[in-house]
A and B are shown apart, each in its own frame.
Chain A
Amino acid sequence: MGKVMLEVRNLKTKYITRFHEDVYAVDGVSFSIEEGKSLGIAGESGCGKSTLALSMMGYYFPPLHYISGDIIIDGTNISGLKPDDVRKTILGSEIAYIPQAAMNALNPTQKIIRFMEDVVHAHDPKKDKKSIREMAEARFAELGLPPSVLDKHAVELSGGMKQRTVIAVSTILNPKVLIADEPSSALDVTSQKMVIKMMRELMEKGYIKSMLFITHELPLLYNVTDDIMVMYAGQIVEKGSAKEMVFDPVHPYSHGLMNSILVPEEGTRGNKLTAIPGTPPNLKRPPDGCRFAERCKYATADCRYTNIPEKTFDDKRMYRCLMGVDELKEVYGRE
Chain B
Amino acid sequence: MNYYRSISFTLIALVLLCCQPDEFPALGAREPIVPKLAGTWTLSKVVQRDNDAERKGFPSFAQLQDITNDFAFKDFKLVLSVSGNAPATFTVQAGNSPNIIGSGISSGNWSVDDVNYPSKITFSGSSGTSIELGSFAGLNNGEMIFKLIRTQPKAGVPEAVVTYQYSFTKE
Q: Do A and B bind each other?
A: no
Which residues does A use to contact B, with CB under 8 Å? Answer: none
